[in-house]
Structure 1
Amino acid sequence: MHRTYSMRSSRAPTAAQIATPPPPVSSTKGKFFGTTSIADAFRKQTAGSFGPEMARKLSQLIKIEKSLERSLEAVSVERKLVAKQLSIWGADNDDDVSDVTDKIGVLLYEIGELEDQFIDKYDLYRITLKSIRNIEGSVQPSRDRKIKITDEIAHLKYKDPQSPKISILEQELVRAEAESLVAEAQLSNITREKLKASFNYQFDSLRELSEKMALIAGYGKALLELLDDSPVTPGETRPAYDGYEASKQIIIDCENSLTSWTLDNSYLKEPLLSMHQGIDDVYTVPEGITEGEVDAEGEWANHDQDETEEVVA
């Protein structure tokens, strides 16, 4: 957030920004080619055409995600330009319009900053997916070797059933199958581990961005309350604007809310699952409800509809 609380003055880093190191910069930033370039379109179309066959579909997904991050980066840049231009336009208006538009510009610029940080955190999801792609690529040779040996054995049994090479190939097939079992087990384990970790990165970053944007939107609406939108008759003068301290305090309150936000104290609680097997699967239980009061369908027994609706998600 702007320490000067204005788009028309220089900005300084906040205490939170100094104390908390930023996440690694996304690998998609600072590239010469944009999201609409021919090179970018070519990369997306050809991502699934090269490399080990097992890894092609995931490779294409990773390339598309990279393009998505570049699009988000463009949105962040445009958002900051909008914030600056709003403040520039508002400066030539009445005092209340000038002050409110300047402060709204601060909030919009902060959204752009949050979107920029979101890209860095979102990139952790994409990078984690790469580890699955890499293990898929490493498993492909063992699969190909097993298939090749199997085909050779079938060919020899058809062409020369008495060939001594058959027994040798069968021994190689046993070793290849053992190697393949190890590789497949490793693929299965890593896929689940990394898939869970990658989408935790994505959902956590989405949750942070959305909740912080919701906070900013609320403070933005509070700023609008400082505008006197009552109609005036020709020649009538509006009362002098005295909301400068109030608008600054709104920005300060917004900054404090954003600084103190964490996943642990976020406003969005864990979801209440409608499909569960017992009371232990429900995140939040209404006061006074015990496990024995849950019927076979997972509904609260012996309570009317009004009480049921009081379950907090």
Structure 2
Amino acid sequence: MASLRGMQQPELSKKLFKMIKSENHTIGAYESASRERISIASQLSDWGEATGDDAISDISDKLGVLLSELGEQEDVFAQNLEDYRSILKQIRNTESSVQPSRDHKAKISDEIQKLKYKEPQSTKLVTLEQELVRAEAQNLVAEAQLTNITRQKLKEAYDIHFAAVIERAEKQILLARHGRRILNLLDDTPVVPGDTRPAFEHAHQARQVLHDAEEDLREWTPSLEPVPSSATDLGTNLMPTSPQSVEQQVETGSPVQQRITGSEKGVSNAGQLASTDSRDVSGSSTAVQPEPSTSYQQQ
């Protein structure tokens, strides 16, 4: 059915339709990676407990918590990609609505050329030429709407996309650094047969690392270079109303910055990191009007 829809897409929107469909597969891969990472984190914790080594058991449990949170961040990233993808759909829908206008203008133009060749004195030529003038006027509006929405939404979509990439990367780095702190609590000094390892004395420090990681995630805020937009004066008919300077846009910030200002970007909904004694680490408007964009926001 999906391939049939692709075949039925207007020529103008086929390429973007294909790209949006491919992006959906990519989002699914990130969601799958999230589930697998959380599952592996749980398996690591279970294995550590089964070793009978108190140090390995505690360290693997804490590492499992951090790895599980890394998995949750993959899911957050996938949700943000879906937001970006939904904005690209607005360009695709506008392209689809403009194609009939182009086709209608081309059809009338072809009819005029054929009639001039076969019946150059035909009175129908006047009627067709009048229709062509109207078709060209309608197409002119549609093309202006298309270029307006394409530039605005392309900028907005990839603003969200790259902001999500930065968030994911910075939080992964944050969690990985705390994971390395936990590794430093494990004594790997070799022992000879018959020797007994000393009791693990760093359980409190390990819990503190998780607490620090939780605090760092909660306090994380984006530091993004502004991506100003001059499209705030775009009316509901996709045509400009009153202009706004780029300087004003820099002051107010990009759409992504406006959406994330004041929002809490802490730990994921999977739960807190700190307490882990249990082993659970789980004009004439011709083109289609765009849908409201989805907020760039952790779900």
Number of the residue aligned with 1:300: none
Number of the residue aligned with 2:66: 107
- Superposed displacement of residue 48, structure 1: 3.9
- Superposed displacement of residue 168, structure 1: 0.9
Number of the residue aligned with 2:90: 131
- Unpaired runs of at least 5, structure 2: 227-299
In the aligned structure 2, how far is the partner of 1:235 from the partner of 1:67? Answer: 55
2:19 equivalent to 1:61: yes
Letter matched to residue 60 of structure 2: T
Q: Deviations over 1:191-213 (max 9, x none)?
A: 00000000111111111011100
Residues 213 and 46 of structure 1, relative CA distance in 2, 3 Å threshold: farther
In the aligned structure 1, how far is the partner of 2:93 from the partner of 2:37? Answer: 36
CA RMSD of aligned residues (A): 1.5
Number of the residue aligned with 1:255: 214
Q: Deviations over 1:89-131 (max 9, x none)?
A: 0002211111000000000100111111111111010000000
In the aligned structure 1, how far is the partner of 2:9 from the partner of 2:199? Answer: 69
**Structure 1 residues 39-118: aligned runs within 5 Å:** 43=2, 48-93=6-51, 94-118=53-77
Deviates more, 1:88-97 or 1:185-194: 88-97
Instruction: Normalising by structure 1, report the TM-score.
Output: 0.70
Is the Cα contact below 8 Å between 1:104 and 1:220 reproduced in 2? yes
Number of the residue aligned with 2:137: 178
Is the Cα contact below 8 Å between 1:47 and 1:63 reproduced in 2? no
Is the Cα contact below 8 Å between 1:47 and 1:60 reproduced in 2? no
- Unpaired runs of at least 5, structure 1: 1-41, 271-313
**Structure 1 residues 187-226: aligned runs within 5 Å:** 187-226=146-185
Q: Deviations over 1:251-277 (max 9, x none)?
A: 00011011111113x7xx89xxxxxxx
Pick one of 218, 236, 245 that aligns with 2:204: 245
Secondary structure at the aligned position of 1:49 is classed as helix
Number of the residue aligned with 2:250: none
- Superposed displacement of residue 49, structure 1: 2.1
Number of the residue aligned with 2:244: none
Letter matched to residue 76 of structure 1: S
- Superposed displacement of residue 179, structure 1: 0.7
Q: Deviations over 1:213-257 (max 9, x none)?
A: 011100001000011111111111112111110000000001101
Instruction: Normalising by structure 2, report the TM-score.
Output: 0.73
- Superposed displacement of residue 47, structure 1: 5.7
Identical aligned residues as a percent = 50
Task: Tell me: higher relative CO, structure 1 or 2? Use CA pairs within 8 A at least 6 residues apart.
Answer: 2
